[in-house]
Chains A and B, each alone.
Chain A
């Protein structure tokens, strides 16, 4: 298994541009989430999904959209990038409580908005 794969790893955007951060997992996990991590801080939840076709907002959802058309993929869209969205983004997946309690994180995507 490749685990949780995020692309791209690094991206520079101009203010107002749009882009999509890709996240894929090959472990057939039900749950997937997107977090952002700002310097010197813990992770904050942006959006999450408890299964294909189901998404919901986390702590800091503004400026981001998500969709979950398949179990494997959970892309995060920035519709109009702002400098405040400069951050490191982590995607995570979780198999469900009956399969254990370990969350798997991707390696992160470093986004800079200028």
Chain B
């Protein structure tokens, strides 16, 4: 079963707008990670947020974590056409030995 569940499943916005994706999970975690996958490519690690962190920034990315609600959000500001991709949240050990992925959000940024 999937530990993380992303919402929405698909999101279409115009270039320059902000995109927000949400992830919910079921069990206690040590950290939560977000990945991007361009069509036909492998996953690229975007950001990791630890369970004792509430917010983290990396460039145009902002991730929040609410452990009481077992949820996280990924905000991409000032989106670009190149941000078009699927975005996945994952929980578990960063080593990959117990990494569990959600089903992803397909983001389309229209120029």
Q: Which residues of A contact B96 (CB under 8 A)?
A: 31-33, 45, 48, 92-94, 103
Q: Which of B13-21, B39-47, B60-68, B75-83 contacts A (4 or more CB under 8 A)?
A: B39-47
Q: Which residues of B contact A59 (CB under 8 A)?
A: 100
Is A105 a contact of B95 with CB atoms below 8 Å?
A: no
Partner of B103 from the list A30, A40, A58, A92 (CB cut-off 8 Å) is A40
Kindly report which residue of chain A lies nearest to residue B104, judged by CB atoms.
Answer: A42
Indicate whether A45 sits within 8 Å of B99 (C-beta atoms), given known contacts A90-B42, A90-B43, A105-B42: yes
Partner of A94 from the list B42, B94, B100 (CB cut-off 8 Å) is B94
Say whether B48 faces chain A, with CB atoms less than 8 Å apart: yes
Cβ of B19 to closest chain A Cβ, rounded Å: 19
Is A97 a contact of B42 with CB atoms below 8 Å?
A: no
Say whether A75 faces chain B, with CB atoms less than 8 Å apart: no
Cβ of A66 to closest chain B Cβ, rounded Å: 13
Which residues of B come within 8 Å of A, CB atoms? 2, 4, 31, 33, 40-45, 48, 88, 90, 94-104
CA distance A32 to B96 in the complex (A): 7
Cβ of B94 to closest chain A Cβ, rounded Å: 5
CA distance A42 to B44 in the complex (A): 13
* Binary interface encoding of chain A residues 64-103 relative to chain B, with 1 for a CB under 8 A from any of its CBs, else 0: 0000000000000000000000000010111011000111
CA distance A108 to B22 in the complex (A): 26
CA distance A35 to B97 in the complex (A): 10
Is A31 a contact of B101 with CB atoms below 8 Å?
A: no
Is B98 a contact of A45 with CB atoms below 8 Å?
A: yes
Cβ of B63 to closest chain A Cβ, rounded Å: 13
Is A101 a contact of B94 with CB atoms below 8 Å?
A: yes
Kindly report which residue of chain A lies nearest to residue B50, judged by CB atoms.
Answer: A101
Is A56 a contact of B97 with CB atoms below 8 Å?
A: yes
Is A43 a contact of B43 with CB atoms below 8 Å?
A: yes
Kindly report which residue of chain A lies nearest to residue B42, judged by CB atoms.
Answer: A105
Q: Which residues of B contact A43 (CB under 8 A)?
A: 43, 88, 90, 99, 101
Indicate whether A50 sits within 8 Å of B101 (C-beta atoms), given known contacts A101-B48, A103-B45, A107-B42: no
